[in-house]
Structure 1
Amino acid sequence: MSTIRSLRLLFAALILAGAGSVQAEAGSLQAMPLAAPQHAPLVAVAHAGERLAAVGDHGVVVLSDDGNRWRQARDVPVDGLLTAISFADAQHGWAVGHGGLLLRSEDGGETWERQADLEGQPVLLSVWFDTARHGIVTGAYGYAAQTRDGGNSWQRLGLGAEGDDYHLNQVFPGPGGSLFIVAEMGNAYRSRDGGSTWEALDTGSSGSLWTGLGLRNGRVLLAGMSGRVLLSDDQGDSWRELDSGTHEAITDLAELPDGRVALVGNGGLVGVSDRGVGRFTTTIRDDRVNLAALAPQADGDLLLFGPSGVLTQP
């Protein structure tokens, strides 16, 4: 796994290199309590209704109801890295990490309960739930699994050709109830039946893809290594490359209220597209900090998440 990814995937790579000691450390401890949790390393963010919930290292989960004031969630029963988070609605959320770690919240992220670790203790990189019962997780070495009972039991999913072991970096929803997974080496997969079966897509790219986004107008974006952004106008049947304005790795995408798309990435990369999402204008922050995730605010500001915690970009 490359170490020139987002903070989230960089941490996952380090865990792969030393999985034994890190897994043991996270087995029974509680999240590290912090006086200023918004400054902890944070690698992923999700909406729980109007609330924002972000996760990161040392089992830290931070919550904000206005994007300005942040507090640490109570009763998080792990102290290791949390790599991804998803909420099906304002109350029901899941967070994942290395070692097959699964956490569930039923109160908007205030408290968390550890579910049974997934068999084989895979390094999990992504989680997505659309209801309180149905969800999918993906991870390193081709791991993908689905639950239809709220995470109590999981069934492995087959993607691509037998024996493929690409790291599956993110699962996300697309138009018309479709689902997509982006992976290493330009690989991407699509499901048209809620995640039960998957087909490999020809993206025309050989560089690893870290993130993707289904837009409100039905188009789909994929992004990743070397500033690559791919756009599909036909739900993934074909792809064309956009001018991203950067060669930095792109780690997250978000659609703004006016239909433009924002992106963040390594080296302090922040970018915003034109209204037609045909090209991006990018800047590099003075701090050049690697950025792992973003969340647009109603006032037009962007909240950025990375090793310095929560940052604001006007």
Structure 2
Amino acid sequence: MNTPTFACCALVLSAALLSTTTVASPLADRLERPSRLTAKAQYAPLIDVQRVGDQLVMVGADGHILSRKADGRVEQAKVPVDLLLTAVHFVDDRQGWAVGHDGVVLHSDDAGASWTPQLDGRTINALMLEWAQSEVERLQAAPTVDEQALESARFALDDISAGAEAGPARPLLDVWFRNAREGWVVGAYGAVLHTTDGGNTWTIVASLDNPDRLHLNSVLGLANGDLLIAGEGGRLYRQSAGHWQPAQVLTPASLYKLTQLRDGQVLAMGFGGALFSSQDDGQHWQAATLPSATSLYGAEQLADNSVLLTGQAGLLHSKDLQHFRILQPRNKAVWLGAAALPDGALALVGNRGLRLLGREEIQEYLR
């Protein structure tokens, strides 16, 4: 089935948005079947959006990748896979990556006009099996055998082997690149992979404090060089000076998105109205009190430095991250992301596709 069936918060969200892909087909087919071009792509579910130069790049259901040009035209790129894409990240006006279900990583070097595959769940399965087998062998060969660690490694090997039998069904949920060479992807069952050659080769990152292999939903590099990863069970992981710190648990609810504001403040948000801010690059966090327990999926800082949060119940706007106003555009939808445009307009993406709010309309909402 094309609809996911396991209970990761981000995966459940994706499944809820997908109502158009219910025809059964072998998992591998989606990695080999190009996305279908359709004039209705901008109205289908879109999961993530990023402003790239003077245009927008959006990803979503059925392998759709769309570009909205400065003149308002929306073009659909030719994409080599037909599956849910969950995140997109460009490091400059040309180099970008998109990730999605079945462990797919796609790369573009022409501002999103065309895309080539760099990784998929079959390769991830092989990398994970290789890592798990080497970990068992390393522990067995140690002068003093740590029986508990060896038992855990054997369990991981069995678990990864069983997962590999299901095929390339390892959803990736977020991607972030420091530059055109070094980047990370994260996803279901604690998957973290790292590349230092622009995505041509990848290695498994196994040094997080995540023995239960909880799902990881968001990855973000900070201005000071630290790396943050957030996910299931409110867990947050921070790599500083090349070393992973012990996991922090901010909330019982799952964290869905990380973002850094212009002043360096970091936000972590997620299900059940979870919103946390950090003034010291993720070392310490403060919880915000929201007017409702709506789930939050994204954030965009506007030109006046106020923050717009996207979520299950519409939009939340705040000038100080202490007081919030609930906004709901006329066509109600689940909004997953937003991107401000140079002319002051705002693009929203969600379960109903792309929605544009003009500058005057935004001012009307914010009065």
- Whether TM exceeds 0.5 here: the answer is yes
Q: 1:22 to 1:255 in 2, by over 3 A?
A: farther
| Aligned with 1:11 (options 6, 11, 15) | 15
The answer to whether the 8 Å contact 1:93/1:108 transfers is: yes
User: Aligned pair 1:280/2:354, yes or no?
Assistant: no
| Aligned with 1:77 (options 80, 103, 108) | 80
| Residue correspondence of structure 1 range 221-240 to structure 2 within 5 A | 221-240=267-286
CA distance in 1, matches of 2:112, 2:301: 23
User: Aligned pair 1:304/2:348, yes or no?
Assistant: yes
CA distance in 2, matches of 1:67, 1:230: 37
Q: Provide Cα deviations, 1:282-311, integer angstroms capped at 9, x if missing partner.
A: 123454321211112234332110121101
User: Aligned pair 1:190/2:226, yes or no?
Assistant: no
CA distance in 2, matches of 1:94, 1:12: 24
Structure 2 residues not aligned, in runs of 5+: 1-5, 126-167, 363-367
Q: 1:290 to 1:192 in 2, by over 3 A?
A: same
| Residue correspondence of structure 1 range 135-150 to structure 2 within 5 A | 135-150=183-198
Which structure shows the bigger proportion of residues in helix conformation? 2
CA distance in 2, matches of 1:130, 1:85: 14
Structure 1 letter corresponding to 2:307: V
Secondary structure of 1:176's aligned partner: coil
The answer to whether the 8 Å contact 2:236/2:250 transfers is: no
Structure 1 letter corresponding to 2:299: L
The answer to whether the 8 Å contact 1:158/1:197 transfers is: no
Secondary structure of 2:83's aligned partner: coil
The answer to whether the 8 Å contact 2:84/2:100 transfers is: yes
TM-score normalized by structure 1?
A: 0.88
User: Aligned pair 1:107/2:155, yes or no?
Assistant: no
The answer to whether the 8 Å contact 2:35/2:63 transfers is: yes
User: Aligned pair 1:37/2:41, yes or no?
Assistant: yes
Structure 2 letter corresponding to 1:11: A
CA distance in 1, matches of 2:301, 2:246: 25
User: Aligned pair 1:174/2:222, yes or no?
Assistant: yes
1:63 is matched with: 67
CA distance in 1, matches of 2:26, 2:210: 30
Q: What RMSD, in angstroms, separates the aligned Cα atoms of the two structures?
A: 2.6
Q: 1:301 to 1:42 in 2, by over 3 A?
A: same
User: Aligned pair 1:94/2:138, yes or no?
Assistant: no
User: Aligned pair 1:260/2:306, yes or no?
Assistant: yes
1:243 is matched with: 289
Secondary structure of 1:263's aligned partner: strand
Structure 1 residues not aligned, in runs of 5+: none
| Aligned with 2:336 (options 286, 292, 295) | 292
User: Aligned pair 1:151/2:199, yes or no?
Assistant: yes
Percent identity reads 34
Structure 1 letter corresponding to 2:35: A
1:52 is matched with: 56
CA distance in 2, matches of 1:67, 1:284: 26
Aligned residues: 306
Q: Which moved more, 1:285-294 or 1:81-90?
A: 285-294
Q: Which moved more, 1:203-212 or 1:294-303?
A: 294-303
CA distance in 1, matches of 2:26, 2:215: 20
